[in-house]
Chains A and B, each alone.
With several copies, the nearest count.
Chain A
Amino acid sequence: MITLSETPLDVQQIIQAATRLQAGAINAFIGTVRDNAKGKQVLRLEYEAYESMAVAEIQKIVDAAAAKWPLQAYAISHRVGVLEPGDVAVVVAVSTPHRADSFAACQYIIDTLKETVPIWKKEVLEDGEEWISAHP
């Protein structure tokens, strides 16, 4: 399951979607909006995605992960739109028969997602705003 969502993510439901009876280990990464950045208060984050390509790129990452680790199931959801501190921005959940693989696969997916998937984040602080990572 790969989704981009304009409404709040249901962490429990996403984890449930990655759960299988034959898999003993589930690892879930949950990225939330912090209330501070660079010592400043975060007012909000604005996420934008190139949606069709983003879903396809996440699928490629999952396929690569499935070639490296025995993924039994996965569920990945990313928010788009305006998020406030405390909101969940992304959930990656995977299940594997044994636990070390669940950690490795989940970390690979979120690390690669942040490098290759066309999603952009504008951080709005108390004193200005910035598209994250845009400039050197």
Chain B
Amino acid sequence: MNTNMKKYTVLAFGIAKDILGGRQCEIELPGNTVSALRTALVGQYPALAGLRSLLIAVNSEYAEDGVLLEERDEIALIPPVSGG
């Protein structure tokens, strides 16, 4: 195992939950940015690439690509919202 790999827990909702096969998954990646996480997730679950948008929230806030992740963060995959 690459010593730079970090393990993140990712919550998934809506269609992302269906694509990941569950409300929560763990993913290891050689990086610690939001964009690295998104790339890894889309690599592992190609159907995510077909969504109209795919945002990532860190600790309940929408996070830009450059935001740095900590292993203890609450990370969530936010597919296109459709409330109301």
Residues of A within 8 A of B (CB): 31, 47-50, 52-54, 56, 78, 89-90, 99, 110, 113-122, 131-136
Contact = CB atoms under 8 A, between A and B. Distances in A.
Nearest to B78: A118
A135 to B, nearest CB: 6
A131 B78 contact: no
Interface residues of B, number: 20
22 contacts: A49-B13, A50-B11, A50-B57, A50-B60, A50-B78, A52-B60, A53-B76, A54-B83, A56-B60, A78-B84, A114-B82, A114-B83, A117-B83, A118-B78, A119-B83, A120-B15, A120-B83, A122-B14, A131-B15, A131-B79, A134-B15, A136-B52
B1 interface: no
Chain A binding surface SS class: mixed
B26 to A, nearest CB: 18
Nearest to B55: A118
A133 B82 contact: yes
B81 A118 contact: yes
B50 A119 contact: no
A52 to B, nearest CB: 5
Interface centre among B15, B52, B57 (most CB of A within 10 A): B15
Interface string B11-24: 10111011000000
B43 interface: no
A134 B82 CA distance: 8
Interface centre among B18, B50, B60, B83 (most CB of A within 10 A): B83
A15 B50 CA distance: 40
Given A50-B78, A54-B83, A120-B81, 10 more contacts: A31-B84, A53-B76, A89-B84, A99-B84, A113-B83, A114-B83, A118-B83, A120-B14, A131-B18, A133-B81
